[in-house]
Amino acid sequence: MSAVGTPHRYVPLAFLAFLLVLPHLLPNAFYVHILVTMAIFAVLGSAWNLIGGYAGQLSLGHAAFFGTGAYVSTLLVNRYGISPWLTLGVGGLAALLLSVPIGRICFRLQGPYFAIATIGLGEALRMLVLHYREITNGAQGLTVPFKGNAPWQLQFDSKLPYYYIALAMAVAMVLLARWMERTRLGHYLRAIGQDQGAAEAVGIDSARAKARALALSAFATGAAGVFYAQYTYVIHPDSVFSLGMSVQIALVAIVGGVGTAMGPVLGAIIMEVFVQSTQVAFQGEYPGLELMVYGGLLVAVIRWCPRGVIPWVSRAYGAVIGRLPALVRRPVPA
């Protein structure tokens, strides 16, 4: 078998191996924290990309699914002592259920209705969580009870296990996108993203395809919300349900490159470097300034590289791969 020997295979595998040892090469836990954040946003951006990228349906409310996962999980963990390993699925499912009526209502229509509805959904949930204090603890948010090093409770005293779990989720999302690109649903979503009318003319039920993509997207986003709650121990309506969170999720995919499997991963890396450097540069002196910087970044990307950084990166990657030798010589065909 020559498959693993070709640069197309061994370069990604080598990169993955590098990611596995990377945290051990870093000077302290803060850098591992940055890696975990990148991985979480890679998952979120990839999830957003299923509906926002491939199908071209702009969502500015993915915080709704993220926050639903985080809250449903934390409530179940706190009240019933259910293991977060199980609530990863339950939180995802709750987010998926939330996506169903949105798809039903919006996806027969064309135009900005979906984008507007998603903003409304996120904000409505934030208000509900603030209002129903008896259940949600209102603006103070919820805390995951600290159990020390309790792997079955998805709690660890080191950041490393969190990193490996988040990395596994991110890799799973990339593989999901890669796989979907070759399925009927993937082809349908890309066709819809290009021209919904023409897609319907060749027999594509656009509302159904979009609803499926949104359900998948919501599930993954909800599961990421569960992980986030476990990782940070504290969730607030103004953090997990905020419009800022929704924008950041969308931005990750847009900066990296919508409608590609690796785009959101690149976007997550770039955005996190950007976020950290703006925080260092401004040292929290001008509150709200980061938001203006994000806005500026979004405008710049849409103006100068609407496909994100992926075209440059994949060109460079292709050039590198083209020069690398095959590790196993292919048998010369007779």
Partner 1 sequence: MSAALLEVDRLDKRFGGVHAVAELSLSVHEGEIVGLIGPNGSGKTTTFHLITGFHRPDGGRVRFAGRDVTGAPPYEVCARGLCRTFQVARPFRELSVLDNVVAATLLRHPAHAAARARAEALVRTVGLEARAGTPAGALTTIDQRRLEVARALGTEPRLILLDETMGGLTPTEVTEAMRLITALRERGLTLLVVEHVMRAIMTLSDRIVVMDQGRWIAEGTPTEIAAHPAVVKAYLGREYRHA
- According to the binding rule CB under 8 A, does residue 280 interact with partner 1? no
Least Cβ distance, residue 178 to partner 1 (angstroms)? 13
- Applying CB under 8 A, the site for partner 1 has a residue count of 19
Give the x/- contact pattern for partner 1 in 205-234, rule: CB under 8 A.
Answer: xx----------------------------
Least Cβ distance, residue 183 to partner 1 (angstroms)? 7
In the complex with partner 1, which residue's Cβ is closer, 127 or 195?
195
Burial class (CB in 10 A: 0-12, 13-18, 19+), 310: buried
Task: Answer yes or no: are the C-beta atoms of 261 and 174 closer than 8 Å.
Answer: yes
Least Cβ distance, residue 196 to partner 1 (angstroms)? 10
Least Cβ distance, residue 261 to partner 1 (angstroms)? 16
Specify which residues 70 forms β-bridges with: none
Q: Which stretch binds partner 1 (CB under 8 A): 130-138, 203-211, 218-226, 285-293?
A: 203-211
Pick the closest to residue 44 from 283, 247, 278 (CA basis): 247
In the complex with partner 1, which residue's Cβ is closer, 33 or 187?
187
- According to the binding rule CB under 8 A, does residue 198 interact with partner 1? yes
Pick the closest to residue 55 from 241, 279, 215, 173 (CA basis): 215
Residue 6: DSSP 8-state? S
- According to the binding rule CB under 8 A, does residue 194 interact with partner 1? yes
Cα–Cα dist 256/250, whole Å? 10
Q: Which helix (H) or strand (E) holds 243?
A: helix 243-256
In a 13 Å sphere around the CA of 121, the CA atoms on its Cβ side amount to 27
In the complex with partner 1, which residue's Cβ is closer, 93 or 180?
180
In the complex with partner 1, which residue's Cβ is closer, 9 or 187?
187
Residues near 86 by Cβ (< 8 Å), separated by ≥ 6? none
- According to the binding rule CB under 8 A, does residue 162 interact with partner 1? no
Task: Answer yes or no: are the C-beta atoms of 154 and 265 closer than 8 Å.
Answer: no
- Please give the single-letter amino acid code of residue 138: G
- According to the binding rule CB under 8 A, does residue 147 interact with partner 1? no
Among 42, 165, 199, 229, binds partner 1 (CB under 8 A): 199
Residue 176: DSSP 8-state? H
- Please provide the DSSP assignment of 98-131 as one string: HHHHHHHHHTTS-STHHHHHHHHHHHHHHHHHHH
Give the x/- contact pattern for partner 1 in 174-193, rule: CB under 8 A.
Answer: --------xxx--xx-xx--
In the complex with partner 1, which residue's Cβ is closer, 197 or 333?
197
Footprint of partner 1 (CB under 8 A): 182-184, 187-188, 190-191, 194-195, 197-206
